[in-house]
Amino acid sequence: MPEIAVIDYDMGNLHSACKGLEKAGATPLVTDSAVALERADGIVLPGVGAFDPAMQHLRSRQLEAPIKAAITSGKPFLGICLGLQILFDGSDEGQEPGLGVIPGRVRRFQSEPGLTIPHMGWNSLQLTQPNCPLWQDLPPNPWMYFVHSYYVDPREVLIQAATVTHGSQTVTAAIAQNQLMAVQFHPEKSSTAGLRVLANFVQLVNQRQPVAI
């Protein structure tokens, strides 16, 4: 089974993410070690909470450069929820600069009559990159579980892999660019469809592993 590093920076629901990856056929390794990230077959960056503390924790553990190096190398990488947002340049939620891997900014949902913030619960995706590896064997508009008050606004629209509509606002729900993928929803909490997303990521990692002779 592939070994997938799950980055520990005190901002993630690591147990749920690891259980989901185990069900999907991977061996998760919770770590904050740069060496472990380099050796892993794939990387998952989970996250729950606020933008500024997340970036402060990453930098205090000297994880910013290893994360960027892993993404640059083409290693399969999956960000989840806050792990999507911190890939961007910055957030309206705070002052800290993000990782700056994806040009763009994290913005707060605009208030409107009858709109609940945070956006919490089940919602369907509109798949804007139908051939994205994460969506393999999913229906056209799969339902996923969301909990967020902020959404990512990429400068380049083509990086969007899926959108979601909350009230009158349609925002980015997932991004994909080569081996870099990240989602705003929680696949580990999204029942069968979410487990399929994780299994598709594990399959992508498997495809990159050298074949034993």
Which residues have a catalytic role annotated?
A: 81, 186, 188
Three-state DSSP class for 114?
Answer: coil
CB atoms near residue 62 (< 10 Å): 10
Nearest to 45 by CA among 88, 91, 1: 88
As a whole number of angstroms, the distance between CA 178 and CA 41 comes to 16
HSE-CB for 24 with a 13 A CA cutoff: 31
What Rg do the C-alpha atoms of the chain give, in angstroms? 16
Contacts of 113 (CB under 8 A, 6+ apart): none
> Which residue from 197, 174, 153, 193 is spatially nearest to 81, judged by alpha carbons?
174
For the stretch 158-195, what's the b/e string if a residue is b when 16 or more beta carbons lie within 10 angstroms of its beta carbon?
Answer: ebbbbbbebeeeebbbbbbbebbbbbbbbbbbbeebbb
